Amino acid sequence: MAVRESHQETSGTPDPIERGFATLNTLRIGVKAMVEKDGELRKAEILSMKQRKDTPSFYVHYVDFNKRLDEWIPASRIDLSQEVEWPFPEKNEKNRKEKTATTNNKAQGKNQAQKRARADSRDISSTPDLLTGKNINVSKAQRPSKAGGKENREDETPVNSSFIGSEAASVAGTPRPEFEDVDMVDAGYSDSKDMKDEENGMEMSREEEIEKLRTGGSMTQNPIEIHRVRNLNRLQMGKHEMEPWYFSPYPEFFSDVDLVFIDEFCLSYFDDKNCFERHRAKCTLVHPPGNEIYRDDYISFFEVDGRRQRTWCRNLCLLSKLFLDHKTLYYDVDPFLFYCMCTRDETGCHLVGYFSKEKDSAEGYNLACILTLPQFQRRGFGRLLISFSYELSKREGKLGSPEKPLSDLGLLSYRQYWREVLVELLMQEGRESVSEYELAMYTSMTEKDVHETLLVLNMLRYHKGNWIIVLTDAVIDLHNKRLEKEKIKGIRKIDPARLQWKPPVFTASSRTWNW
């Protein structure tokens, strides 16, 4: 017997939930049941079902957990002794009909409005100006930019700030006064709650931030992508075997393969081991197909043009989509440059990670997409990728910022990099005063990123119409601890003197999509 109970959605309208007991034969897509995960029961939603070796398998999304944890599970992990939540197909059908009716009404209203507008335009075009006696020329309204960044930068008022030395650290615990005339600059990756916390001077610990990202779900730009089922089970790339996190548009028949083989040099993919071994015997590529622009005793960077190496770059995008939920680029690689970081040994240059960059970014982005492969994460490679992107911006003489929105792991990496660079710069001896503009010029970060980072670190105080940068005791202690860890782990950095690169110049055709 099913029982209905009502709960409140974010919109404030009650939504009935139908609960009841289910069997394997009655389970269907959309049902939320309790599933065993790591020794405990978690609520999960069934996103897909199929038969595997004569037994049913279910693809589930764990409620309130990041969707990279979605997985195929056997029926034995579903606890059918507890009630499940049933979906409401009749409600979806009703919504579809209402949406169709609303769309038709809007279309009829739009046609009528267009007829009225044409009639009005005929009247207005012949109306004389009351002051000059001339006719008024009615021009088409300018379309707003979809990027949402360029116009905002032009309208922003530059913020003047100065740096006060460690003698001001005593006010670290003093809450920043709120002023009604202060307009906080909105960061592209922050939500309203984050901005309220920052305005109130609240700091979020790394554990709290990771917890927020863990429960925050997907950051995908396309809502349709949220419930797409991960299609590959396992990958073998070089000597590493890994499990994908998200869906990637590999050929459909690859979803039935237990292990997909990827050539770590040319990034070609195979569903059969014999085919892969025959390919490896013939493949001569031992590094990314581009120019090596940086080399030290630890890593190398290669610059690959998406227009000249379409197949390789598309294979790279296919691979990265397995670990980046928000990534949508695949076929359109012509307008991008790919900067690939590799480690070297006697067999060749092995891909560690990469970032892509538009050849001509109207919004001033110095990075479009960034990824460190899972087998190389938590080893400092992400920071090297970010640092290298800013070194390129310094050579170009421009201020740069990553394209928003960032992925969850990308956001954590960037916030850590911005904090380390700014604090290290502020703690240099003999630096008594500096403005946000000067910080931006030193680091090639945009003033907006500098300002937002200082806000997150609670290092800004509003005083007599200006923002004052304050080095707090907490920030200094955190910086000293980081320096001690770097000495122990031997953290490496990019050496600008080893960068052999000049900003490339492209023709108009090479900067656009090949449509």
Q: Are 235 and 259 in contact (CB under 8 A)?
A: yes
Can you spell out the DSSP letters for 362-430? TT-EEESEEEE-GGGTTSSHHHHHHHHHHHHHHHHT--BEEPSSPPHHHHHHHHHHHHHHHHHHHTSTT
pLDDT at residue 339, as a whole number: 97
pLDDT band at residue 114, thresholds of 50, 70 and 90? low
Higher-confidence position of 53 and 267: 267
CA 183 to chain centre: 26
- Three-state SS string over 267-281 comes to CCEECCHHHHHHHHH
pLDDT at residue 295, as a whole number: 96
Q: Are 471 and 168 in contact (CB under 8 A)?
A: yes
Residue of 358, 403, 436, 447 with catalytic role: 403
Q: Give me the chain's average pLDDT, please.
A: 75
pLDDT band at residue 331, thresholds of 50, 70 and 90? low
Q: Give the range among 37-51, 244-258, 399-413 with minimum mean pLDDT.
A: 399-413
pLDDT, tens only, 189-210: 333 334 334 444 445 555 555 4
pLDDT surpasses 60 at 126: no
pLDDT at residue 265, as a whole number: 96
pLDDT, tens only, 412-465: 889 889 999 999 999 888 777 888 999 999 999 999 999 999 988 888 888 888
pLDDT at residue 418, as a whole number: 93
The two structure tokens encoding residue 168: 């001001």
Class of domain 19-85: mainly beta
Active site residue 432: no
- Domain residue spans of the chain: 19-85, 231-405, 428-495
pLDDT band at residue 181, thresholds of 50, 70 and 90? very low
Q: CA 359 to CA 513: how far, in whole Å?
A: 11
pLDDT surpasses 70 at 14: no
> Contacts for 185-192 with beta carbons within 8 Å, 24 or more apart?
185/156, 185/159, 185/448, 185/451, 185/452, 187/448, 187/452, 188/149, 188/404, 188/405, 189/404, 189/405, 189/406, 189/411, 190/452
pLDDT at residue 41, as a whole number: 94
The domain at 231-405 falls in which architecture? Answer: 3-Layer(aba) Sandwich (3.40)
Q: Give the range among 35-39, 99-103, 151-155, 224-228 with minimum mean pLDDT.
A: 151-155
pLDDT at residue 104, as a whole number: 56
pLDDT band at residue 472, thresholds of 50, 70 and 90? confident
Q: Are 417 and 386 in contact (CB under 8 A)?
A: yes
pLDDT at residue 410, as a whole number: 77
| Dihedral pair phi/psi, residue 38, rounded to 5° | 55, 40
pLDDT, tens only, 376-426: 988 889 999 999 999 999 999 999 999 987 777 778 889 889 999 999 999
Q: What is the mean pLDDT of residues 356-377?
A: 91
- Three-state SS string over 226-267 comes to HHCCCCCCCEEECCEEECCCCCCCCCHHHHHCCCEEECCCCC
Q: CA 104 to CA 110: how far, in whole Å?
A: 10
Q: What is the mean pLDDT of residues 342-358?
A: 95
pLDDT surpasses 80 at 188: no
Class of domain 428-495: mainly alpha
